[in-house]
Amino acid sequence: MGRAEVAVAEKLVKEYESYEITGFVPMTGFGLYALFTVLGEKLGKYERRVVRALDGVSFTVREGEVVGVLGPNGSGKTTLLKILAGLTMPTRGRAEVAGLDVVKDHERLPRVITYIPGLAAISLFARPEMTVEWNLRRFADLAGLPREAVREALELVELVEDAHRRVYELSTGKLARLAIAFGLVKRSPLYLMDEPFTGVSPEVKVKLLELVKWLASEQGSSVLYATHILSEAEQVCSRVIVLHQGRVIADDTPRNLAKELELMESVDVEVRLAEEAEKLARDLAERADRALKVEVEGDVLKLTVAVRSSRDFVQYAVERVHAGGSKLLYVRVREPTLEDVYLALLSKHKAAEEKVVVAPPGVCYIFTGGVGGG
């Protein structure tokens, strides 16, 4: 039996409505703004546009998984997370989080999910002039959760020593720990993290990414982790969903995706030559799928090739080099990275028609709101 499903989305569609100014419009106070919007559309001064941010998104997240949500700007990552957090309603389709329907039960969603939309948004959870512990306790009291959970959470995220510091004094790394502590207090089965560690220095980020992994492996929580930064996703995610223009164009482990896209491994070989460089290079290149680089420096041959199976190639290379009396100095195999996968996927889908309406430069949106309750 597979692990329990924590989040399920089925054919989610989200359309946003916006008005673009197409003619001269006098500046108005807020009171007249709605009137002008309606009149303006009739007089041809505004044009109503519908942006389809999500276009039939389906996927499942299971217990203990960290799933990356990748995609270029405007591909729908934030919209997707907001729907699962109950912060905006889908236009069509359905989604469930921990058995709760994101539309019907949206008021109960905050009890189960922990939404971390970047650290600037910590003010959504905490009163900055009060202490770390005060904030967590108030949170536990309001949610009817046991206070013991606060101490435990502080220990788990290593904030015990900062418990009596005011939130505004905390470094960004510690703010991130606090955001996660809120989730631990309520034993959140699902964390929705939207580019959560922007602005955190690399050495602190490494620790925070470990904390995210630990949430899944030790606490059994699931994490949806939206990011542009592929190296981050590579470090934490067991699976990735790639969004492109509101559609899921891939949903798998990075390794499987690389295989499916027939991305090759690259192998670097360095040999101290005891035979003609050209002959050895030709033999090795023939065994590879593609030769990427051949260099000779003095009596050293440096070769980089792309191969489908590094195992077969390396075995051949070792035997062939020795057979010619040369000496193998160095071998390095590089598997396709998430970045390779991502770039290959996007270029495959580049041809797809631009569906999302993007405002040309200089166009000013004066009103945005969600169709269907957003």
List residues binding ligand ATP (CB under 6 A): 16, 18, 51, 53, 71, 73-79, 228, 356, 368
Q: Which is nearer to Mg ion, 72 or 146 (CB)?
A: 72
The rounded distance, in Å, linking the Cα atoms of 315 and 269 is: 12
The rounded distance, in Å, linking the Cα atoms of 308 and 289 is: 7
Q: Which residues in 44-103 contact Mg ion (CB under 5 A)?
A: 77-78
CB atoms within 10 A of CB 240: 26
The rounded distance, in Å, linking the Cα atoms of 201 and 45 is: 46
Q: Which is nearer to ligand ATP, 139 or 225 (CB)?
A: 225
CB atoms within 10 A of CB 326: 19
In angstroms, give the least distance from the CB of 195 to Mg ion. 6
Q: Which is nearer to ligand ATP, 90 or 189 (CB)?
A: 90
Q: Which is nearer to ligand ATP, 231 or 256 (CB)?
A: 231
Q: Which is nearer to ligand ATP, 294 or 366 (CB)?
A: 366
Name, in order, each residue with C-beta under 8 angstroms of 144's C-beta and a sequence gap of 6 or more.
Answer: none
In angstroms, give the least distance from the CB of 359 to ligand ATP. 8
In angstroms, give the least distance from the CB of 346 to ligand ATP. 13
Q: Which is nearer to ligand ATP, 347 or 368 (CB)?
A: 368
In angstroms, give the least distance from the CB of 201 to ligand ATP. 21
- Quick note: the x/- pattern for Mg ion over 114-133, rule CB under 5 A, is --------------------
User: Choosing among ligand ATP, Mg ion, none, which partner's interface includes residue 135 (Cβ < 5 to 8 Å by kind)?
Assistant: none
User: Choosing among ligand ATP, Mg ion, none, which partner's interface includes residue 245 (Cβ < 5 to 8 Å by kind)?
Assistant: none
Query: Comparing C-alpha atoms, which of 236, 241, 191 is closest to residue 209?
Result: 236
The rounded distance, in Å, linking the Cα atoms of 296 and 73 is: 43
User: Choosing among ligand ATP, Mg ion, none, which partner's interface includes residue 40 (Cβ < 5 to 8 Å by kind)?
Assistant: none
Can you read off the two tokens belonging to residue 222?
């699931």
User: Choosing among ligand ATP, Mg ion, none, which partner's interface includes residue 86 (Cβ < 5 to 8 Å by kind)?
Assistant: none
Q: Which is nearer to Mg ion, 79 or 266 (CB)?
A: 79
| CB 113 within 8 Å of CB 224 | no
User: Choosing among ligand ATP, Mg ion, none, which partner's interface includes residue 362 (Cβ < 5 to 8 Å by kind)?
Assistant: none
The rounded distance, in Å, linking the Cα atoms of 66 and 64 is: 7
The rounded distance, in Å, linking the Cα atoms of 96 and 64 is: 17
In angstroms, give the least distance from the CB of 224 to ligand ATP. 12
Across the strands, what pairs with 61? 7
The rounded distance, in Å, linking the Cα atoms of 223 and 84 is: 12
| CB 116 within 8 Å of CB 194 | yes
The residues of the shown chain that bind Mg ion, judged by CB under 5 A, are 77-78
